[in-house]
C-alpha cells in the first residue's frame, strides 16, 4: 500500500470533460490552404468568423492560399545588407567624395592648432 494521498496520479482539472462542463462548441468549418511545396493545411474557423485569404503552412512556413491550383509564391528573401550598402543607396559617389574631403579638411585644421 502506498502513501495516504488519495489523489495520487491526478492533476488539477483532470476528470471527465465534455460539453456539459465546458459548454457547447461554436459551429466550425474546415478550410483547406495549399502552399507552394504541396502541403495542405486545414485549420478550422468559426462559421461566423472572417476567413483569411492566406495562412502560414505549419510544415514549411511558406504562405498558403485557398486556391489549390495556384498557391502563393514563396516570398523573395533579400540578402543581408551592410551599413555601407545602405549608405551607398542614399549617397552617390560624388556625395561621398565631397563628405570625405570635408572631413579630411576638418581633421587637417584641427591638427594645425
Binding residues: 35, 39, 57, 60
- Residues 1-36, buried b or exposed e (16+ Cβ, 10 A)? eeeeeeeeeeeeeeeeeeeeeeeeeeeeeeeebbbb
Q: How far apart are CA 32 and CA 29, in angstroms?
A: 10
Binding residue positions for Zn(2+): 35, 39, 57, 60
Amino acid at each position: 500500500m502506498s502513501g495516504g494521498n488519495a489523489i495520487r496520479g491526478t492533476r488539477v482539472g483532470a476528470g471527465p470533460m465534455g460539453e456539459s462542463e465546458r459548454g457547447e462548441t461554436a459551429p466550425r468549418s474546415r478550410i483547406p490552404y495549399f502552399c507552394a511545396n504541396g502541403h495542405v493545411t486545414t485549420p478550422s474557423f468559426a462559421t461566423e468568423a472572417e476567413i483569411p485569404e492566406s495562412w502560414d503552412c505549419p510544415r514549411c512556413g511558406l504562405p498558403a492560399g485557398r486556391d489549390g491550383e495556384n498557391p502563393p509564391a514563396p516570398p523573395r528573401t533579400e540578402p543581408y545588407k551592410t551599413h555601407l550598402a545602405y549608405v551607398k543607396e542614399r549617397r552617390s559617389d560624388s556625395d561621398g567624395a565631397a563628405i570625405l574631403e570635408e572631413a579630411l579638411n576638418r581633421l587637417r585644421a584641427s591638427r594645425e592648432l
